[in-house]
Amino acid sequence: MAPLERCAPASERRDDQLHGTAAPARRFVLVERPGAWGRNAVGEACGRSPALAALYDRCLEAAARLLLIRRVHREPGEHRRFAIADARPGCERTWWGSFDTDDELDHVDPLHPSGSASDEPTFLVCTHGRRDACCAQRGWPVAAALTDALPGQVWQCSHVGGDRFAANVVALPHGLYYGRVTPANSVELASTHIAGRVRLELLRGRSCFTSAVQAAQHYARLELGLDAIDALHALGLEREPDESVAVRLAYDAGEMRVVVRAHRSEPIPRLTCAALESTSVRTWELRGIT
Protein backbone atom coordinates (compact mmCIF):
# COMPACT_ATOMS: atom_id res chain seq x y z
CA MET A 1 0.00 0.00 0.00
CA ALA A 2 1.35 3.42 -0.96
CA PRO A 3 1.99 5.78 1.99
CA LEU A 4 -0.62 8.47 2.58
CA GLU A 5 0.29 11.87 1.19
CA ARG A 6 0.98 14.50 3.82
CA CYS A 7 -1.29 17.55 3.90
CA ALA A 8 1.27 20.20 2.88
CA PRO A 9 2.53 18.51 -0.30
CA ALA A 10 -1.07 17.61 -1.16
CA SER A 11 -2.07 21.27 -0.78
CA GLU A 12 0.79 22.32 -3.06
CA ARG A 13 -0.25 19.74 -5.65
CA ARG A 14 -3.83 21.08 -5.59
CA ASP A 15 -2.50 24.66 -5.59
CA ASP A 16 -4.77 25.58 -2.67
CA GLN A 17 -5.43 29.29 -2.38
CA LEU A 18 -3.25 31.02 0.21
CA HIS A 19 -4.84 34.45 0.37
CA GLY A 20 -7.67 35.11 2.78
CA THR A 21 -6.61 32.37 5.20
CA ALA A 22 -4.97 34.23 8.12
CA ALA A 23 -6.68 33.42 11.41
CA PRO A 24 -8.36 36.46 13.04
CA ALA A 25 -6.52 38.27 15.86
CA ARG A 26 -6.04 41.92 16.69
CA ARG A 27 -3.41 41.16 19.28
CA PHE A 28 -1.07 38.31 20.12
CA VAL A 29 0.08 37.13 23.53
CA LEU A 30 3.17 34.93 23.57
CA VAL A 31 4.20 32.81 26.54
CA GLU A 32 7.46 30.87 26.55
CA ARG A 33 6.99 27.16 27.26
CA PRO A 34 10.19 25.19 26.62
CA GLY A 35 10.07 21.49 25.92
CA ALA A 36 7.54 19.28 24.16
CA TRP A 37 3.94 20.37 23.56
CA GLY A 38 0.89 18.12 23.38
CA ARG A 39 -1.59 18.12 20.52
CA ASN A 40 -3.70 20.86 22.16
CA ALA A 41 -0.72 22.80 23.45
CA VAL A 42 -2.48 25.89 24.79
CA GLY A 43 -5.46 23.99 26.23
CA GLU A 44 -3.28 21.43 27.97
CA ALA A 45 -1.00 24.13 29.38
CA CYS A 46 -4.03 26.05 30.67
CA GLY A 47 -5.34 22.89 32.27
CA ARG A 48 -2.15 22.62 34.32
CA SER A 49 -1.86 26.33 35.12
CA PRO A 50 -4.72 28.43 36.58
CA ALA A 51 -2.72 31.59 35.91
CA LEU A 52 -2.33 30.72 32.23
CA ALA A 53 -6.02 29.78 32.01
CA ALA A 54 -6.95 33.20 33.42
CA LEU A 55 -4.66 34.85 30.86
CA TYR A 56 -6.36 32.86 28.11
CA ASP A 57 -9.73 34.26 29.24
CA ARG A 58 -8.33 37.79 29.12
CA CYS A 59 -7.09 37.10 25.61
CA LEU A 60 -10.56 36.06 24.47
CA GLU A 61 -12.01 39.32 25.80
CA ALA A 62 -9.34 41.34 23.97
CA ALA A 63 -9.54 39.57 20.56
CA ALA A 64 -6.01 38.33 21.23
CA ARG A 65 -4.42 35.05 20.16
CA LEU A 66 -2.51 33.20 22.89
CA LEU A 67 0.45 31.22 21.55
CA LEU A 68 3.14 29.19 23.26
CA ILE A 69 6.69 29.91 22.11
CA ARG A 70 10.11 28.33 22.53
CA ARG A 71 13.61 28.90 21.19
CA VAL A 72 15.45 26.67 18.75
CA HIS A 73 18.36 26.94 21.21
CA ARG A 74 17.79 27.99 24.82
CA GLU A 75 20.46 28.74 27.37
CA PRO A 76 19.98 26.98 30.74
CA GLY A 77 18.86 29.24 33.56
CA GLU A 78 17.35 31.94 31.35
CA HIS A 79 14.18 33.64 32.52
CA ARG A 80 11.16 32.75 30.43
CA ARG A 81 9.75 35.47 28.20
CA PHE A 82 6.27 36.74 27.46
CA ALA A 83 5.12 39.31 24.94
CA ILE A 84 2.06 41.27 23.87
CA ALA A 85 1.92 42.34 20.23
CA ASP A 86 -0.66 44.81 18.93
CA ALA A 87 -1.36 44.04 15.26
CA ARG A 88 -3.85 46.79 14.56
CA PRO A 89 -2.89 49.27 11.80
CA GLY A 90 -1.21 52.29 13.31
CA CYS A 91 -0.71 50.53 16.65
CA GLU A 92 1.98 48.02 15.70
CA ARG A 93 4.26 47.39 18.67
CA THR A 94 5.43 44.53 20.87
CA TRP A 95 5.98 44.62 24.63
CA TRP A 96 8.36 42.06 26.16
CA GLY A 97 8.74 40.89 29.73
CA SER A 98 10.20 37.99 31.69
CA PHE A 99 8.87 35.62 34.32
CA ASP A 100 9.92 32.58 36.31
CA THR A 101 6.58 31.18 37.51
CA ASP A 102 3.16 31.23 35.89
CA ASP A 103 1.73 33.21 38.82
CA GLU A 104 3.74 36.17 37.53
CA LEU A 105 1.50 36.17 34.44
CA ASP A 106 -1.37 37.53 36.54
CA HIS A 107 -0.38 41.10 35.61
CA VAL A 108 -0.23 40.43 31.85
CA ASP A 109 -3.15 42.25 30.22
CA PRO A 110 -3.52 42.27 26.41
CA LEU A 111 -5.43 45.56 26.56
CA HIS A 112 -2.92 47.31 28.81
CA PRO A 113 0.54 46.08 27.81
CA SER A 114 3.49 46.46 30.11
CA GLY A 115 7.15 45.62 29.71
CA SER A 116 9.83 46.77 27.30
CA ALA A 117 8.27 48.20 24.13
CA SER A 118 9.88 47.33 20.79
CA ASP A 119 9.24 48.01 17.12
CA GLU A 120 11.64 45.24 16.07
CA PRO A 121 9.97 42.48 14.05
CA THR A 122 9.50 39.05 15.58
CA PHE A 123 9.10 35.96 13.43
CA LEU A 124 7.09 33.00 14.71
CA VAL A 125 7.45 29.65 12.98
CA CYS A 126 4.87 26.98 13.70
CA THR A 127 6.69 23.74 14.62
CA HIS A 128 3.77 22.11 16.43
CA GLY A 129 4.37 18.53 15.30
CA ARG A 130 1.96 16.91 17.74
CA ARG A 131 -0.78 18.93 16.05
CA ASP A 132 0.34 18.17 12.50
CA ALA A 133 3.39 16.34 11.22
CA CYS A 134 3.92 18.82 8.37
CA CYS A 135 4.34 21.66 10.86
CA ALA A 136 7.32 19.88 12.42
CA GLN A 137 8.83 18.46 9.24
CA ARG A 138 8.65 21.77 7.41
CA GLY A 139 8.68 24.20 10.32
CA TRP A 140 11.84 23.08 12.12
CA PRO A 141 14.21 23.69 9.17
CA VAL A 142 12.68 27.14 8.59
CA ALA A 143 12.99 28.03 12.28
CA ALA A 144 16.64 26.95 12.24
CA ALA A 145 17.44 28.92 9.07
CA LEU A 146 15.80 32.08 10.39
CA THR A 147 17.45 31.71 13.80
CA ASP A 148 20.87 31.52 12.15
CA ALA A 149 20.14 34.70 10.19
CA LEU A 150 18.26 36.66 12.86
CA PRO A 151 19.21 35.40 16.32
CA GLY A 152 16.94 36.82 18.99
CA GLN A 153 14.09 37.63 16.61
CA VAL A 154 12.82 34.11 15.91
CA TRP A 155 10.68 31.77 17.99
CA GLN A 156 9.00 28.46 17.40
CA CYS A 157 5.29 28.66 18.17
CA SER A 158 2.26 26.48 18.74
CA HIS A 159 -0.55 25.93 16.22
CA VAL A 160 -1.47 29.00 14.14
CA GLY A 161 -3.89 27.33 11.70
CA GLY A 162 -3.48 26.32 8.08
CA ASP A 163 -1.35 23.21 8.65
CA ARG A 164 -1.58 22.43 4.92
CA PHE A 165 0.38 25.62 4.21
CA ALA A 166 3.40 24.57 6.29
CA ALA A 167 5.81 25.97 6.96
CA ASN A 168 3.77 28.83 8.41
CA VAL A 169 5.45 32.03 9.59
CA VAL A 170 3.74 34.89 11.45
CA ALA A 171 5.49 38.27 11.36
CA LEU A 172 4.77 40.40 14.42
CA PRO A 173 3.72 42.93 15.40
CA HIS A 174 1.84 43.32 12.09
CA GLY A 175 0.17 39.90 12.29
CA LEU A 176 1.13 38.97 8.74
CA TYR A 177 0.70 35.26 8.03
CA TYR A 178 2.91 33.59 5.43
CA GLY A 179 2.59 30.04 4.10
CA ARG A 180 4.75 27.58 2.17
CA VAL A 181 7.88 29.15 3.59
CA THR A 182 11.04 27.11 3.04
CA PRO A 183 14.60 27.32 4.34
CA ALA A 184 15.56 28.64 0.90
CA ASN A 185 13.11 31.59 0.88
CA SER A 186 12.72 32.27 4.61
CA VAL A 187 15.62 34.68 5.07
CA GLU A 188 14.63 36.71 2.01
CA LEU A 189 11.07 36.80 3.32
CA ALA A 190 12.29 38.16 6.67
CA SER A 191 14.53 40.72 4.97
CA THR A 192 11.63 41.86 2.80
CA HIS A 193 9.42 42.27 5.87
CA ILE A 194 12.09 44.20 7.75
CA ALA A 195 12.29 46.52 4.73
CA GLY A 196 8.55 47.19 5.07
CA ARG A 197 7.32 45.06 2.19
CA VAL A 198 5.39 41.80 1.73
CA ARG A 199 6.06 38.70 -0.33
CA LEU A 200 2.68 38.48 -2.01
CA GLU A 201 3.13 34.95 -3.39
CA LEU A 202 3.55 33.66 0.19
CA LEU A 203 1.15 36.01 1.99
CA ARG A 204 -1.92 34.42 3.58
CA GLY A 205 -3.23 37.69 4.97
CA ARG A 206 -3.13 40.06 7.92
CA SER A 207 -4.82 38.82 11.06
CA CYS A 208 -6.57 42.05 12.04
CA PHE A 209 -8.67 41.96 8.86
CA THR A 210 -11.54 39.66 7.96
CA SER A 211 -11.01 36.96 5.36
CA ALA A 212 -12.91 39.02 2.77
CA VAL A 213 -10.69 42.05 3.33
CA GLN A 214 -7.57 39.88 3.18
CA ALA A 215 -8.69 38.53 -0.19
CA ALA A 216 -9.60 41.99 -1.48
CA GLN A 217 -6.21 43.35 -0.48
CA HIS A 218 -4.52 40.47 -2.29
CA TYR A 219 -6.31 41.25 -5.55
CA ALA A 220 -5.72 44.99 -5.13
CA ARG A 221 -1.99 44.40 -4.63
CA LEU A 222 -1.91 42.32 -7.81
CA GLU A 223 -3.79 44.98 -9.74
CA LEU A 224 -1.70 47.93 -8.56
CA GLY A 225 1.65 46.23 -8.01
CA LEU A 226 1.80 47.29 -4.37
CA ASP A 227 4.05 45.49 -1.90
CA ALA A 228 4.41 47.97 0.99
CA ILE A 229 3.00 46.49 4.19
CA ASP A 230 0.77 49.52 4.82
CA ALA A 231 -0.03 50.31 1.17
CA LEU A 232 -3.74 49.56 1.55
CA HIS A 233 -6.16 50.74 4.23
CA ALA A 234 -9.55 49.12 4.69
CA LEU A 235 -12.32 51.73 4.75
CA GLY A 236 -15.33 49.42 5.00
CA LEU A 237 -17.24 46.62 3.35
CA GLU A 238 -20.77 45.92 2.14
CA ARG A 239 -22.65 42.70 1.48
CA GLU A 240 -24.03 42.55 -2.04
CA PRO A 241 -27.38 40.88 -3.01
CA ASP A 242 -25.52 38.01 -4.70
CA GLU A 243 -23.64 37.33 -1.41
CA SER A 244 -20.41 38.84 -2.70
CA VAL A 245 -18.56 41.39 -0.57
CA ALA A 246 -17.55 44.86 -1.73
CA VAL A 247 -14.46 46.11 0.10
CA ARG A 248 -13.41 49.76 -0.06
CA LEU A 249 -9.66 50.29 0.13
CA ALA A 250 -7.57 53.46 0.26
CA TYR A 251 -4.08 53.81 -1.16
CA ASP A 252 -1.73 56.69 -1.98
CA ALA A 253 -3.40 57.50 -5.31
CA GLY A 254 -7.00 57.35 -4.08
CA GLU A 255 -9.61 54.72 -3.33
CA MET A 256 -10.78 51.52 -4.99
CA ARG A 257 -13.66 49.11 -4.64
CA VAL A 258 -12.85 45.40 -4.77
CA VAL A 259 -15.67 42.87 -5.02
CA VAL A 260 -14.96 39.30 -3.93
CA ARG A 261 -17.18 36.29 -3.46
CA ALA A 262 -16.63 33.22 -1.29
CA HIS A 263 -17.07 29.68 -2.55
CA ARG A 264 -16.85 26.29 -0.85
CA SER A 265 -14.56 23.74 -2.43
CA GLU A 266 -15.38 20.12 -3.02
CA PRO A 267 -14.63 18.00 0.09
CA ILE A 268 -10.90 17.47 0.42
CA PRO A 269 -9.62 14.25 2.01
CA ARG A 270 -6.94 14.69 4.67
CA LEU A 271 -7.05 18.47 4.73
CA THR A 272 -4.65 18.06 7.66
CA CYS A 273 -2.43 15.09 8.40
CA ALA A 274 -4.68 14.14 11.33
CA ALA A 275 -8.01 14.58 9.51
CA LEU A 276 -10.35 11.59 9.58
CA GLU A 277 -13.03 13.04 7.30
CA SER A 278 -13.07 15.04 4.07
CA THR A 279 -13.54 18.78 4.55
CA SER A 280 -14.38 21.63 2.20
CA VAL A 281 -12.56 24.97 2.39
CA ARG A 282 -13.52 28.54 1.55
CA THR A 283 -11.91 30.20 -1.44
CA TRP A 284 -12.28 33.73 -2.76
CA GLU A 285 -13.08 34.77 -6.32
CA LEU A 286 -12.45 38.27 -7.66
CA ARG A 287 -15.68 39.70 -9.16
CA GLY A 288 -14.46 43.18 -10.02
CA ILE A 289 -12.22 46.15 -9.24
CA THR A 290 -13.26 49.77 -9.76
Q: Class of the 7-201 domain? A: alpha beta
Q: What are phi and psi of 205, to 5 degrees?
A: 145, 175
**Sequence spans of domains, the chain:** 7-201, 210-289
Query: In the predicted model, is pLDDT for residue 139 greater than 60?
Result: yes
Identify any residues that bridge with 234 across adjacent strands, giving them in sequence order. Answer: 249
Average predicted confidence (pLDDT) for the chain = 95
Give the DSSP letter string of 20-65: T-PPP-SEEEEEE--S---TTHHHHHHHH-HHHHHHHHHHHHTTEE
pLDDT at site 3 = 65
Q: Are 188 and 98 in contact (CB under 8 A)?
A: no
Residues 6+ apart with CB under 8 A from 3: none
Q: Are 160 and 177 in contact (CB under 8 A)?
A: yes
pLDDT over 90 for what percent of the chain? 89
Closest CA to 214 of 17, 19, 18: 19
- The dihedral through the CA atoms of 40, 182, 125, 35 has a sign that is positive
C-alpha of 132 from chain center: 16
> How many helices and strands in the chain, by DSSP H and E?
6, 14
- pLDDT-derived band at 142 (thresholds 50, 70, 90) equals very high
Q: Are 117 and 93 in contact (CB under 8 A)?
A: yes
Tens of pLDDT, residue by residue over 246-289, are 999 999 999 999 999 999 999 998 899 988 899 999 999 999 99
Query: In the predicted model, is pLDDT for residue 1 greater than 70?
Result: no
Q: What's the rounded Cα separation, in Å, for the pair 256 and 250?
A: 6
Q: What is the mean pLDDT of residues 206-233?
A: 98
Q: What's the rounded Cα separation, in Å, for the pair 220 and 249?
A: 8
| 3-class SS of residue 137 | helix
pLDDT at site 132 = 86
